[in-house]
């Protein structure tokens, strides 16, 4: 049985989330062109006030995946992900 929870990402999770996105962006088939290539770049973007909103999925406390949406001034949404952890 899975202990999967899905909740909005909080600032304390940004570094871990950024590492997941960095890992996914190394592979062309999972790369998201709207996010940075390196964890420090991604974490800096996540820390901005106008940052994309991310949901994180955890399975038994371990990060299992994430999905984000950035909304512009005209209320258009730009999806980022899904990013799925290996394993």
Over range 51-66, report the average pLDDT. Answer: 93
What pLDDT, in 10s, does the model give residues 1-44? 578 999 999 999 999 999 999 988 887 777 776 667 789 988 98
Instruction: Note the residue count of the chain.
Output: 87
CA angle, 15 then 11 then 28, to 5°: 40
pTM attached to this predicted model: 0.85
> What span, in angstroms and rounded, lies between the C-alpha atoms of 46 and 43?
5
Name the strand (E) or helix (H) holding 83.
strand 77-84
Q: Which of 11, 19, 12 lies closest to 53 in space, CA to CA? A: 11
| CATH code of 35's domain | 3.40.630
Burial classification of residue 41, based on how many CB atoms lie within 10 Å of its CB (0-12 exposed, 13-18 middle, 19 or more buried): middle
Domains held by the chain: number: 1
Whole domain around residue 80: which residue ranges?
Answer: 4-84
């Amino acid at each position: 049985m899975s202990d999967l929870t899905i909740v909005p990402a909080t600032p304390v999770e940004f570094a871990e989330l950024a590492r997941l996105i960095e890992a996914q962006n190394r592979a062309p088939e999972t790369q998201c062109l709207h996010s940075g290539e390196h964890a420090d770049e991604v974490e800096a973007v996540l820390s901005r006030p106008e940052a994309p909103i991310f949901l994180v999925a955890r399975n038994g406390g371990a990060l299992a995946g994430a999905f984000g949406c950035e909304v512009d001034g005209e209320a258009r949404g730009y999806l980022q992900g899904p990013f799925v952890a290996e394993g």
